[in-house]
Structure 1
C-alpha cells in the first residue's frame, strides 16, 4: 500500500483532471501506518499536492486539504519548518478558508516546537500573515493560536499587540458573556507563562483587573464559571515570579484561596487544593502561608477532612496538596523550616501517622499512592524518621511487599524506601538493622518477588 501512495503522489501533479486519483490517494493514506506514511513521502512529491491547491475547483482543493492534513500530521514540526515553510506561508493567503485553516494549524504546531519555532521567527512576513488571517471575521480559528504566537518572543507579541487582537482578548476578561470571560482568562494565563507576556500584562494593568474581579465575584451569581480560572492565574503567577510578592500585592487572591478551601462546593475545593499545593511546593510559598496563622490552621484541618471523607478524586488532590506542603529538599532543611513542616503535620490530626496509614490501606490504588507520597515527603526529615520508628509496625509496613500490588503502588513504595535510604540521618535514627533492610529492598528493586512468595503462589495454583 505504501508503494501505491508513492506512485499516486508521483503521478498526481501531471494529470489534467486529478479528482479520481486524489480520492484514491486519500483512501490509500487512511489505510497505512504513520511510520509507513513518513517513509513514502518525499518533498518533491508532496509539492505536487500543494500545487493542486491552485485551483478554482472546490472539490479538488478540499481533497488536497484532506490529503495534506493526513500527511503533514505524520511529519515533525521541525521537518515542516525546514521543508514546507514556503508552501504553508502561501496557504495563509489562499482564498479558500479550509486551506488557511490547514496552514494555520501546521504553523501552530511549529510555534509550539522549540526547534521549529526558531525557523518561523526568522520570517516576520509569516507572523504578520498569520495574524492577518486570524483577524479576518470569517476565520474559524480559536484565539489560542494568537496566544501561542505571542508567547514565543517579544517580537511576536508585538505583532499581535499591534494588530489589536490582544487588546480584544483582554477586553473579553470583563465582558458580559461569562463563558467567553472564562476562555479569555485561560488564554491570559497561557500568555503569562512567558516573562515578556507577564511584563505586557502588568503594563496593561491586567493583574489589578483580575484581582478586582476576584473581589467582585462575591456579588456575581455566575462567578463560579470563571472564579477558578482567576485563582489559577494568580497561582501560576506566584510560582513563576514570587509567592510573597504576588500574595502581598494581591491579598484578594490568597484570601479567596482560603475561602474556596472551606467552601461546600467540591469544584472550589479542588482549585483551592491545587493552588495551596502549588504555593506550598516552594520555600517562599511555605513561609507566606505560615504568616497567615490561624487561617492556615483552619485550612489544614479542612484539607485533612477532605482527604478522609470526600469523593475519591478530591481525596487524591488533598493528599497531593499535603505532600507538597510537607516536602523539603535536603538543602532546604533548616531548623526553622523543619519546625514548620513538623507543626503542619500535627495540625492535620491528633494522630496524623495513623490517619495517613489508614488511608493507605484502603482498597483504592490512587489513595494508597497518595498516602505513600506523604510518607515520602517526610521521609528525609529527621522528625519524620523519628515518627516512623516510634510508630509500631511502620517500618514493617514499608518493607512489606504484599501491600499495594499495582505497578504505581510498587513504584511509589520504592520511592519512599529510596528517600529513607538517601537521608544522611536515617541510619542513626532508624537503627542499623532497619537501614540494612531498607537498602536490601532498594537493591532488589520495586518488583522483586521472593522465592518463598513464588512457591506459595505456585502451590495456590
Structure 2
C-alpha cells in the first residue's frame, strides 16, 4: 500500500513538473511528454483520486488548458479533464476572471468544446441565478452565434441557456432587445428550419413569463417573422410555418402566446372562410388543411386548450361547414380531425354534447364509398376505442355506433367490408371491431352475431400478417376484458382461448392418409 502511494506521489510530481515546463517554455516539452501527462491526469480523474486531482489542478493554468485543446487525438480525455478543472475552479470564478477562456469555448471549432462551455454556463446559472447578468453582458452575442453551427445538440443548449438568462432576469432581456443580439437571432431564423423552430420555441418561452416580457418582445418586433410568415404569398412558406407551429405545440405556453399575439385569430379567420368562395384556389385549400391539421394536433396534445378555442370560436361549427360544403379532400381532413378530438375522454364529451358535427358526419355514412369510407372507419375507430369503463363512455360510444346506419345493419356491413380484397379497407374494419370489443355493449353485440364469430375465427379469411395481427388483437381484447365471462358465451370463450394459444399465424394442415401398397 505504501509502495502504491509512493508511486502515485511520484507520478503526480512528474505531471506537475511537465505542466511547469509547458507553462514556462512549451518548446522544451516533447509531444510524447504532453500526451503522457494528459493520459496520466485522465487516469487519476477516472480513479477519483481527489487529493491528487487537487494537487495537479493547483499547478494547472488556463493558458495550459487552452494549449491542450489542440491535441485532437485524445479530445474525449481532454474534455473530461476540462470538465473537472471547471468544477475545481468554479464557473463563477471563470466567468468573472477568465473571460477569454469562455470566449474560446464558445467560438471553438470543436463541437464538444462548445457543448461543454454552454452546459457549464447552464449549470452555473442553475446554481447561481445572479450569473445571468454577467453572462448576458459579456457573452450573449457569442452565445447567439452558436446557432450558426447548425448542430441540433448545440442549438438545444443555446436555447436552454438563453431561456434561463432571458426568463429569469428582465434586465438581461432589456439588454438582449437593445443589442445586436436581436438582429443576429432573427438572421439565424433564415439559416435552418431546425434553428428557426428552436428560436420560435425560445421566443414563446421568454415572452410568456409575464405580461411585461410579452409587451417588450412584441415592441421589439420579436414576433414579426412568426406572424408575417402566416400572411406570406408563398404557399410553401405558409405550410412550413404551420408545420413549425405544430412542432411548437409541446410548449405549454403556446396557446396563450397565440391568443395574445393574435396568431390564433388569424388562423380562425382563415378557417371560417367560405369553402365556396370563388376567389379560393388550390393554395388556399392546402393552407386551410394545414390549419385544420394544427388544431387536430392541438386536440391530441392539449385538449384543455382546444376546448377553450371551441368555447371562444366555435371551431366545430367551422369544421361542420367545411364538411358540408367542401370537396372530398376537405371531408377527409375533417374526419381525421374528428377522430383526433374524440380519441380522448374530454374530446368525446365535447363532440357528443355539441352533437351537430358528429351527427352530420354519422348521417353522411350511408352515402360514403371508396377511400372516404375507409377514412371514416379509421377515425370512428379512434372514438370507439376509448377504453374507460364508465357509464357515460358506454352510453356515448354505443349511441355513436348505433347511428352509423350500415346496411343491412352496421355489424354485417363491417363484416362485408372485412372480406374485401383491399387491405386498407379490411384493416379499418378490424380497428372498428376492436373499438367495439372494449365495451360491455360491444361484447354483447359481437357475441350475439354468429357471422362475426365465424368471421373472426376463420383463419383462411386473412392472408396478410398485419390483418392476422389485428384479428388476434380483437380476440385477445374480448378474452381479457373484465366482463368477458359475463357477456361472451363459454363455448365461444373456449374457441377464442384456443385461437390465442395457437398464435396469430397458425395454419391448419390437413392430415394425409397413406394407403399401404398404393402407388
TM-score range, shorter chain: 0.5 to 0.7
Which deviates more from structure 2 when the two are superposed, residues 264-273 or residues 274-283?
264-273
CA change 1:407–1:265 in 2 (3 A) is: same
Alignment of 1:263-342 (within 5 A): 263=325, 265-293=327-355, 295-303=357-365, 305-306=367-368, 308-310=369-371, 314-331=372-389, 333-334=390-391, 336-342=392-398
CA change 1:149–1:385 in 2 (3 A) is: same
The CA deviation string for residues 363-396 of structure 1, in whole angstroms up to 9 with x for no partner, is 2323222211100001022222222122223112
Alignment of 1:105-120 (within 5 A): 105-108=152-155
Deviation at 1:287, TM superposition (A): 2.5
User: What secondary structure is seen at the aligned counterpart in 2 of 1:446?
Assistant: coil
Aligned counterpart in structure 1 of residue 442 of structure 2, from 384, 388, 393:
384
Q: Is the 8 A contact 1:151 1:193 kept in 2?
A: no
Alignment of 1:168-183 (within 5 A): 168-183=225-240
C-alpha separation between the residues in 2 aligned to 1:443 and 1:151?
A: 53
User: What secondary structure is seen at the aligned counterpart in 2 of 1:393?
Assistant: helix
Which deviates more from structure 2 when the two are superposed, residues 355-364 or residues 272-281?
355-364
C-alpha separation between the residues in 1 aligned to 2:307 and 2:164?
A: 38
The CA deviation string for residues 257-305 of structure 1, in whole angstroms up to 9 with x for no partner, is 2233345533212311110001111233223222344553331133564
Q: Is the 8 A contact 2:119 2:157 kept in 1?
A: no
Aligned counterpart in structure 2 of residue 221 of structure 1, from 273, 277, 280:
280
In structure 1, the partner of 2:415 is 357
CA change 1:381–1:138 in 2 (3 A) is: closer
Deviation at 1:440, TM superposition (A): 2.8
In structure 2, the partner of 1:371 is 429
In structure 1, the partner of 2:191 is 140
Does 2:316 correspond to 1:249? no
In structure 1, the partner of 2:461 is 403
C-alpha separation between the residues in 2 aligned to 1:43 and 1:320?
A: 54
C-alpha separation between the residues in 2 aligned to 1:108 and 1:444?
A: 51
In structure 2, the partner of 1:343 is 399
User: What secondary structure is seen at the aligned counterpart in 2 of 1:353?
Assistant: helix
In structure 2, the partner of 1:14 is none
C-alpha separation between the residues in 1 aligned to 2:326 and 2:269?
A: 23
C-alpha separation between the residues in 2 aligned to 1:138 and 1:414?
A: 49
Q: Is the 8 A contact 1:262 1:302 kept in 2?
A: no
RMSD value over aligned CA atoms?
4.5
The CA deviation string for residues 371-425 of structure 1, in whole angstroms up to 9 with x for no partner, is 1110000102222222212222311222223332333222212221121112222
Q: Is the 8 A contact 1:93 1:100 kept in 2?
A: no
Q: Where do 5+ consecutive residues of structure 1 fail to align? A: 1-9, 11-38, 46-53, 55-63, 112-116, 457-461
In structure 2, the partner of 1:27 is none
Does 2:149 correspond to 1:102? yes
C-alpha separation between the residues in 1 aligned to 2:203 and 2:237?
A: 20
The CA deviation string for residues 150-174 of structure 1, in whole angstroms up to 9 with x for no partner, is 467767x979868634332123323
C-alpha separation between the residues in 2 aligned to 1:354 and 1:260?
A: 31
User: What secondary structure is seen at the aligned counterpart in 1 of 2:450?
Assistant: coil
C-alpha separation between the residues in 2 aligned to 1:305 and 1:100?
A: 53
TM-score, normalising length from structure 1?
0.67
Aligned residues: 384
Which structure is larger by alpha-carbon Rg, 1 or 2?
Answer: 2
Deviation at 1:358, TM superposition (A): 1.6
CA change 1:225–1:103 in 2 (3 A) is: closer
C-alpha separation between the residues in 1 aligned to 2:189 and 2:358?
A: 51
